[in-house]
Amino acid sequence: MNPFWQRFKASYLLYSFRQDRTAIFSFVVLLALLVTGLLAPLIAPHDPYDPASIDIMNAELPPAWMAEDGSGFFLGTDNQGRDLLSTMIYGLRLSILIGCGAVMLQGAIGVIVGLLAGYLGGKIDAVLMRIADIQLSFPYLMVAIFISAIFQVAFGIGRYEALAVPLLVVIIGLAEWPVYARTVRASVMGEKNKEYVEAARVIGLSRWRIMFRHVLPNTMTSVLVISTIQVANAS
């Protein structure tokens, strides 16, 4: 058996998860939403992006249980005749892609910046945190307009619509990374003077190995908590 899987099975994380019914129920709901979103083309009754499946005569129909003629639209339709249930399922997939992609980008940038600033300190800390302060001072819409203009120049207006999802991921990721950087920096500053870090220095481990193999894993708890919130915000 894989050593990593063996350690995971014996970990306190898995044990505590099994003992928490709320966590198990939440995980089941999350898994169901992920599967529904990723399998949208197979689960959704209609394709809201296919003009052939949209009839303007079906606009603003009530839900199936309220329709007198037994309409086949479970949640009804919008003002363009699109099935609301199918639109929600496809929208769920899009929200998952944008939310997870943006959090991965902002987390990667913020964790590295916060780790370097907190562990190295000094001028590096001052410069990186001032960059984070400058980033936070820009309004979110200004960042969106600036990056959108760059995308239009780089890829042309014709492909701009096709690149809407990557654009949103980049905008949200670049706008929110200071949240991770500040949190990780504070955690690293509390960890770097502990005994296990001093022991790693004594036995001759390099600075980068100590940072990424010993200090960083002990700061991931706060990162995971922030990520759950940021996925909802990004979506």
**Inside any domain, residue 207:** yes
115 is in which domain, residue-wise?
96-234
* DSSP-H helix ranges across 71-206: 84-120, 122-137, 140-155, 157-160, 164-191, 195-202
Q: What angle do CA 193, 194, 198 make, to 5 degrees?
A: 80
pLDDT tens for 35-84 read: 888 888 888 887 777 777 777 777 777 776 776 665 677 777 777 778 88
- Tokens for 218, please give them: 């002990």
**Inside any domain, residue 69:** no
What DSSP element (H or E) covers 59? none
- Tokens for 99, please give them: 């939310």
**Inside any domain, residue 74:** no
**Inside any domain, residue 202:** yes
Give the single-character DSSP code of 226: H
Ranges of the chain with pLDDT below 70? 1-2, 4, 8, 64, 67-71, 157-158, 160-161
Give the single-character DSSP code of 83: B
CA distance 103 to 188: 20
Per DSSP, the residues of 11-51 read: SHHHHHHHH-HHHHHHHHHHHHHHHHHHTHHHH-SS-TT-G
Q: How many domains is the chain built from?
A: 1
Residue 196 is predicted with a pLDDT of 85
Domain harbouring 182, CATH code: 1.10.3720.10
**Inside any domain, residue 118:** yes
Residue 112 is predicted with a pLDDT of 92
pTM of the model: 0.77
Distances (CA, A) of 189 to 121, 182, 219, 226: 9, 11, 10, 18
Return the biggest CA–CA distance within the chain.
Answer: 79
**Inside any domain, residue 49:** no
> Is 81 within 8 Å of 58 (Cβ atoms)?
yes
